[in-house]
A and B are shown apart, each in its own frame.
Chain A
Amino acid sequence: SQQGEEDPQALSIQEGENATMNCSYKTSINNLQWYRQNSGRGLVHLILIRSNEREKHSGRLRVTLDTSKKSSSLLITASRAADTASYFCATDGRGWNNNDMRFGAGTRLTVKP
């Protein structure tokens, strides 16, 4: 079964605005990962956040994790047209530390120039 569920399913913003995507999951995790996919291509790993971390940054990306609410958010600041893509969260769905990652259905982000 899918472990992570992203929200919203689709998001459309103007270039320069911030984009926030959310992910909820059901069982305990060891780590949560965010990926980007450009249309029909392979997924690209963005950030990994471990269960004992609350926030992580990478360039214009900021990820937060709230294990009490079983949720995570991905913030893209000062978005660019090139950020247009689908974004997926993934969790190690069985709760074991074995990197068996399960993905949600994704958020489709459109950044208008």
Chain B
Amino acid sequence: EAQVTQNPRYLITVTGKKLTVTCSQNMNHEYMSWYRQDPGLGLRQIYYSMNVEVTDKGDVPEGYKVSRKEKRNFPLILESPSPNQTSLYFCASSHKGGGYTFGSGTRLTVV
């Protein structure tokens, strides 16, 4: 089944404790993106990747890192999480010029 898999689905962590949210797609998509969704703000792009080893900042990259060492994986790293990073996170992937397939989301709470 074609899908984007995010893990974990839910995570509660403490301020400053490094964490990684994994994202993997099995559709050989070139493009992958991370978004965060907050009430009233819609989806805001964090980082974006056009292909392996090619990443670019989105609208809200501060406090996040990504890597794209393999085509299928695009992990999101929070080096020192803070409470304002409490949010619902989505990973998505697509072919060039195509619609995005979204993961099921990761609900992160930073206390």
In the complex formed, the residue of A with least CB distance to B50 is A98
| Bound CA–CA A53/B101 (angstroms) | 22
For B70, the chain A residues whose CB sits under 8 A away are: none
A100 touches B43 (CB 8 A): no
Q: Is the interface of A mostly helix, strand, loop or mixed?
A: loop
Q: A1-B59, A98-B31 are in contact. Are A31 and B41 (CB under 8 A)?
A: no
| Interface assignment of A61: CB less than 8 Å from any CB of chain B | no
Q: Are A106 and B31 in contact (CB under 8 A)?
A: no
Give the A-B pair count, Cβ closer than 8 A.
70
Q: Interface on chain B toward A: helix, strand, loop, or mixed SS? A: strand
Q: Which residues of A contact B31 (CB under 8 A)?
A: 98-100
Min CB–CB distance A103 → chain B (angstroms): 4
**Total contacting residues, chain A, CB less than 8 A:** 25
At the interface, yes or no: B88 with Cβ under 8 Å from chain A? yes
Q: Write the A71-83 contact mask toward B (1 if CB under 8 angstroms, else 0).
A: 0000000000000
Among B42, B97, B102, contact of A106 (Cβ-Cβ < 8 Å): B42
Q: Is the CB of A88 within 8 A of B102?
A: no
Residue in A closest to B107 when the chains form the complex, CB atoms: A40
Q: Are A44 and B98 within 8 A (Cβ)?
A: no
Task: Determine the chain B residues whose CB is within 8 A of the CB of A106 once the complex forms.
Answer: 42
A45 vs B97: C-alpha distance when bound (angstroms): 13
Known contacts A2-B42, A103-B35, A103-B43, A48 near B98 by CB under 8 Å: yes
- Check B99–A88 contact: CB distance below 8 A: no
Q: How far is the CA of A97 from the CA of B96 in the complex (A)?
A: 8
Residues of B at the A interface (CB closer than 8 Å) are 4, 31, 33, 35, 40-45, 48, 50, 56, 59, 88, 90, 92, 94-105, 107
